[in-house]
Amino acid sequence: MATDTRKLKDQAQKAVNKGKHTKALDLYLALEAAEPADGGWARRAANMYQRLGRDQEHLLALQRAADKYGKAGFLVKAIAVCKMILADEPGHVATQEKLAALYAERGIPAAAKPAATAGPSPVPPRKRTLPPGAPLDSVALSDIVPGATPAGSVAGAEASIQDIPLELELDTLLEQAQGAVEQPGAEPIDIELIDDDENAQQAARRLQETPFFAALGPKLLEMFIDKVTLVELAAGEVLFRQGDGGDALYVVAEGEVAVLSEGPPRVQLSRLCEGDFFGEIALVTEQPRSATIEAVDGAELLAIDRDTVGDLIHAEPNVLRLLLRFLRDRLLNTLVHTNPLFNSYGGAERQTLAEKFRFLEGEQSAVLIEQGGRANGLYILLAGQAEVLVQTGDATEPTRLATLGPGDVCGEMSLLANADAVATVRLTSKAFVLKLPADVFRQVIMTHPQVLMFVGELADERRRQLEAISVGNGDYEVAHLELL
């Protein structure tokens, strides 16, 4: 007779709510027997063992959960459970070997050595890229990313802007994963290979969707597991609040969290569930958190802090380029979801669009847009500050209309109206900027005629806004993307 799993699930939840842990444990074990491939039941059984003080059985249940999650391909959940085991049993060799073995089973040739005898992979003796605890904007990316070249002065600015290349050739990465390419002085990146019948586009998408995990082979994975932090939140518990400082990226391993704006009024902006990333901007700059994160019904998160990222970049420099590409794609995903210019783009088109944006590193005083000239691109400020200046009449000094920060967009009005820029945008600090070149921007909007329907209204609104400013009845407004 088939087990009625729905009934068992309802009974188990009721038992947990009433604090009947022994009964809930029996029901979770029954569900594990009925659905042996689902690691969630072993995970819940482990919770009950812990509440009952049965430590050895708690550890064994966690090991079963990690094994089931790993075999099912839920790498994020498997890492979370491994961290729980290592929190109770530091240096648990079998746990560290488990995930490395899963990579080997999927076709990665580099087999993990036992952690107790081999230890972490040796790191080539070289200067550390990121100082401990430092964000990415504390270093000159143009000095450490291979292939970075000056893009030249922009609009007559004396300070240069560097073009940081992000696109890695997929074929090269796959060759590295297969051991066909050896890079002198560094371990090659190991990429989890996908079945032969899947094409390169699917592989590239998977690489971009999981930039940390896909780039970590068995040796780096051991380092990662040892350094990543597991954060458990009870229902309604706040991880961080809007305005707090931050130094970590988070991955939702289990449960769900709400993204809240404190207002007033306090409103829920969205919810993030298993596998979702958030907080990545803290890896780049000291910008305060732009929203509050609160657990919905309890959640387990993986915290990846700056030190962990710095260690990974030091061990494998290509992780930096993958991280920068991930940050670019995440920011542009927000852009296409919130800016009417790009609302009509579907999933595949969005990735194509993201690849057209250049990642720039600008020095203080570099000019992105100059009043009276045509904007040469659409810019999104990722880190750093800029000022919007307008020169009027016979004034000896320009008037500052606004200060721009991370998430602010500029250049769209000059591009849309095909007219001279009405203001200058100049960096007031070192900055990371995303740029969609003007010719590409025009191609983008022309291939989606519906975009042009509101261009006229947008241009008219900006003209009215500037007229109001000229008589002291308005403020300068820019498009803005919220970055956690």
Per-residue pLDDT at 370: 92
Rank 58-67, 165-174, 308-317 by mean pLDDT and report only the highest.
58-67
Q: What is the pLDDT of residues 93-118, one digit of tens each?
A: 887 677 566 545 544 433 334 344 44
Model confidence at 153: pLDDT above 60: no
CB 72 within 8 A of CB 78: no
Q: Which residues pair with 161 in a beta bridge?
A: 362
- Do you find a cis peptide bond into 406, omega within 30 degrees of 0? no
More confident residue, 44 or 169: 44
Residue 176 pLDDT class (50, 70, 90 cuts): very low
Tell me what the mean pLDDT of segment 302-314 comes to.
86
Specify burial of residue 435 (Cβ count, 10 A radius: 0-12, 13-18, 19+): buried
Per-residue pLDDT at 57: 93
Rounded (5°) CA angle 322-147-405? 60
Percent of the chain with pLDDT over 90: 15
Model confidence at 269: pLDDT above 90: no
Per-residue pLDDT at 483: 65
Model confidence at 312: pLDDT above 70: yes
Tokens of 462: 């900006």
SS3 251: strand
Tell me what the mean pLDDT of segment 152-168 comes to.
61
Q: Out of 215-229, 316-330, 432-446, which region has the weakest mean confidence (pLDDT)?
A: 215-229
Specify burial of residue 68 (Cβ count, 10 A radius: 0-12, 13-18, 19+): buried
Per-residue pLDDT at 235: 85
Burial 167-198 (b: 16+ CB within 10 A, else e): ebeeeebbebbeeeeeeeeebbbbbbbbeeee
Tell me what the mean pLDDT of segment 212-235 comes to.
70
CA–CA dist 104, 109 (Å, integer)? 6
Per-residue pLDDT at 159: 53
DSSP class per residue in 397-412: SPEEEEEE-TTEEESH
Q: Out of 49-58, 168-177, 216-225, 475-484, which region has the weakest mean confidence (pLDDT)?
A: 168-177
Tell me what the mean pLDDT of segment 398-420 comes to.
84
Per-residue pLDDT at 64: 93
Specify burial of residue 33 (Cβ count, 10 A radius: 0-12, 13-18, 19+): exposed
Tell me what the mean pLDDT of segment 119-124 comes to.
49
Per-residue pLDDT at 177: 34
Model confidence at 208: pLDDT above 70: no
Per-residue pLDDT at 295: 93
More confident residue, 245 or 152: 245
Tell me what the mean pLDDT of segment 442-459 comes to.
66
Per-residue pLDDT at 468: 74
Per-residue pLDDT at 369: 92
Model confidence at 411: pLDDT above 80: yes
Model confidence at 211: pLDDT above 90: no
Per-residue pLDDT at 204: 35
Per-residue pLDDT at 436: 87
Tell me what the mean pLDDT of segment 446-474 comes to.
66
Q: Out of 100-114, 167-181, 257-271, 357-371, which region has the weakest mean confidence (pLDDT)?
A: 167-181
Tell me what the mean pLDDT of segment 7-14 comes to.
86
Query: In the chain, what are the domains?
Result: 5-112 (1.25.40.10), 224-339 (2.60.120.10), 342-480 (2.60.120.10)
For the sheet containing 161-164, what is the strand order? 149-150, 161-164, 358-362, 431-437, 377-383, 408-410, 479-480
Per-residue pLDDT at 393: 75
More confident residue, 429 or 350: 429
Q: What is the pLDDT of residues 325-358, one digit of tens each?
A: 777 777 777 767 766 666 666 667 766 777 788 8
Mean of the per-residue pLDDT values of the chain? 75
Q: Out of 281-295, 346-360, 465-479, which region has the weakest mean confidence (pLDDT)?
A: 465-479
Model confidence at 190: pLDDT above 60: no
Per-residue pLDDT at 340: 67
